[in-house]
A and B are shown apart, each in its own frame.
Chain A
């Protein structure tokens, strides 16, 4: 499964009013190129902070689900956020980590998820439910299953590296992204 396929599958299970906080790099670019129909905060810089922004909005609006689209390199930069999320336990937070074990945006240098499991760290940090999926079928199954579960939930989606196809940069300005997100 490549990232674009994984994101497409995820979107099939995210309602149109549910929020997405999307990490910088190819995750946001892929998501933007596939569909821009949900309230989405596309990050451009500040790598590592998608989970923290997601936590902030999840706490302020507990009635609405927040999906964080994260990367392995991204979350490794902010592992402390897992302890904050696991302490505050927002029921409406779903943390999806697209894990290809490389920093693809910068030239596919290896990350430590080759050796260390993010899912195990999340479990140790009191996430209510954690999953690792490797196939499209399994990812769909878990996405259906979590609709009835309380967060924080983490799904690590193991994806293949794919540096042949590159999505375009996001064409909305950062202030436009914010305003668009807040108005939906």
Chain B
């Protein structure tokens, strides 16, 4: 996804009262993260489970609690247990922003398997998701913002359109 769109997505979510951005970096969304770092709004964790734990802690405050956790799809695989036994068990709403590699034939081998099963994993977790694209990213963000207001978690997916 283009640099300018990624930066716009960050600013749009921030403007719409997502207060906490915690995660593990992903080159697929590096401009999104960079925009947050520039605004001093990003907390980088050592692992995805840790990132979710911190976001849960931040969400336990009554005000300014809306949180987003960003991660690669390999990290999403790491997070399964934390999503089921913390986020979903205690019904703590948050937005997951997950990179998506491995759905293209020519991506690096470590992404192939997880990339292929990612949609099924989201489904198995009953985690509603939308894929962000350059045309109607705003609509997907609005969808996620509406869900978090209703107290529900969801995932926004950023696909990797190129292989470097």
Contact = CB atoms under 8 A, between A and B. Distances in A.
Interface of A: 21, 41, 43-46, 48-49, 51-61, 78, 80-81, 83-84, 88, 174-175, 177-178, 181-182
Contacts of A178: 60, 90-92
Contacts of B50: 49, 52, 78, 80-81, 84
B46 A57 contact: no
B85 interface: yes
A56 B90 contact: no
A52 B90 contact: no
B57 interface: yes
A140 to B, nearest CB: 28
Interface in B33-88: 43, 45-47, 49-62, 64-65, 81-82, 84-86
A53 B51 CA distance: 9
Nearest to A39: B60
A52 B57 contact: yes
A174 to B, nearest CB: 5
Interface of B: 20, 22, 43, 45-47, 49-62, 64-65, 81-82, 84-86, 89-92
B128 to A, nearest CB: 19
8 contacts: A44-B85, A46-B49, A49-B56, A55-B57, A56-B58, A56-B59, A60-B20, A182-B61
Given A80-B46, A175-B91, A45 B57 contact: no
Given A45-B86, A45-B89, A177-B90, A56 B47 contact: no
A96 B53 CA distance: 18
> Top 3 closest A-B pairs, CB basis?
A56-B57, A52-B53, A45-B85
B82 A49 contact: yes
B62 A182 contact: yes
A45 B87 CA distance: 11
Contacts of A181: 60
A54 B55 CA distance: 10
A55 B92 contact: no
B47 A80 contact: yes
Contacts of A60: 20, 57-58, 60-61, 64-65
Contacts of A58: 57
A78 B81 CA distance: 14
Contacts of A84: 43, 45-46, 50, 54
